Structure 1
Amino acid sequence: MSRTLAVVTVDQRASRSGEDRVPEALAALAALPDLADRPLLRPFERTAGDELQGVVDDPGTLVAVVGALLRTQAWYVGIGIGEVEEPLPDSARAGRGAAYLHARTAVTAAKNSPWQLRVVGDDPDARSLETTLWLWAAVLARRTARGWEVAELVTEGLSYEEAGRRLGISQSAVSQRAQAAGIVEARRAAELATTLAARLLGQAP
């Protein structure tokens, strides 16, 4: 038996000259608020050296994971979407199937690709998902620390007025920061990426 899943393989950039960021990444991914209700099918774990791998079956979770990785700008991200043999083993790295092969191809290609991210799958929509994630990455890359500060408060559900009170600035200043941070554009990109991922994973309505 098998089913369509997403295998995410990530490799640390400049790992030979920098510190080992795997423990930091594992902790950050495990603490993502989105994973509380939609956990990873198999949690991320170190596979070898500075590489991590996890298995995802929920489109929203996949997008949340990618967003967290893009924010740090510290990883080559490879997403493989395809069949995975079942029963799935307890360890993410012990699985078998096309998705694992695609993820390996993707993370290798990511080292010479825009935004150091690739999506590989047999379905043509894999290319559409990849394009959407590249565009999302371009929006996130331009954010300053102040932009992320506002984005996080808005994600928590605060209005611009409430965020302004929290930050001690005017609502107009919050609006300006939100526009510069591309909050609306990023939200739309994440929504589209989730829709495409759902289609690829066979979960589209």
Structure 2
Amino acid sequence: MFVLTIDQTGSRATTDRVPELLHLLQPVHAVLPWERSVGDEAQGVIAGADDVVEAVMLCLRAGGWYVGIGIGTVERPFPASPREGRGSAFVAARKAVDRAKKTGDRAPLAVEGPDGAGEAEGVLALLGRHVMGRSDAEWRILDLLHPGERGTQTAVARTLGISPQAVSKAAARAAWHEEQAVRPAAARLLTWADDRVA
């Protein structure tokens, strides 16, 4: 299991953004519902590694969040709320979010857990760097693209009234194709680490 603990950056100097985060993460499937855990933090329990990758990238795109991913056990039966949860994944998520606050110029995320957690963190941080560096203009294009769908760049160009070459250049500049290829690799590394939970 995966526990995500997500903490707002600079919360003392800004407004409370946790409701915005909970709305953002609503489409990401969680075993226990996403909710405020304490103060300016939110937490969720996730079973699928693909969902973890999606949640992390949504947080990094939005900006202003430290993301801690804990890989380990979650005691059963599941409680009604993540706040009542127990197990090594919760402990690992707390350690991870604390470490995410010390990543400096790197993507503000950390992964804690068994063997494989470090590799998953490295791939997610590289992927996150690209996601965080995209401009609003690039996102306008990327949000309309669909991986593996033929003709999507031409359709996006038509929708936005720009040339297909402009769409292609934006996708290349933003490393969009690489992101689509790397997401499954990040999920596999997370799954590999999760499989090693005693």
Tell me the TM-score range normalised by the shorter chain. over 0.9
**What amino acid is the match of 1:129?**
A
How many residues get paired? Answer: 192
1:34-183 to 2 correspondences below 5 Å: 35=28, 39-113=29-103, 114-121=106-113, 123-155=114-146, 157=149, 159-183=152-176
TM-score (norm 1): 0.89
Query: Contact 1:11 / 1:52 at 8 angstroms: preserved in 2?
Result: yes
Percent of residue pairs identical = 38
In structure 2, stretches of 5+ residues that fail to align are: none
Query: Contact 1:9 / 1:53 at 8 angstroms: preserved in 2?
Result: yes
In structure 1, stretches of 5+ residues that fail to align are: none
**What amino acid is the match of 2:109?**
L
Runs of 4+ in 1 over 4 A off after TM superposition: none
1:188 CA drift (Å): 1.9
TM-score (norm 2): 0.92
Aligned-residue CA RMSD in angstroms? 1.5
1:200 CA drift (Å): 2.6
Query: Contact 1:119 / 1:127 at 8 angstroms: preserved in 2?
Result: yes
One of 28, 32, 48 as aligned partner of 2:24: 28
Residue range with higher mean Cα deviation, 186-195 or 91-100: 186-195
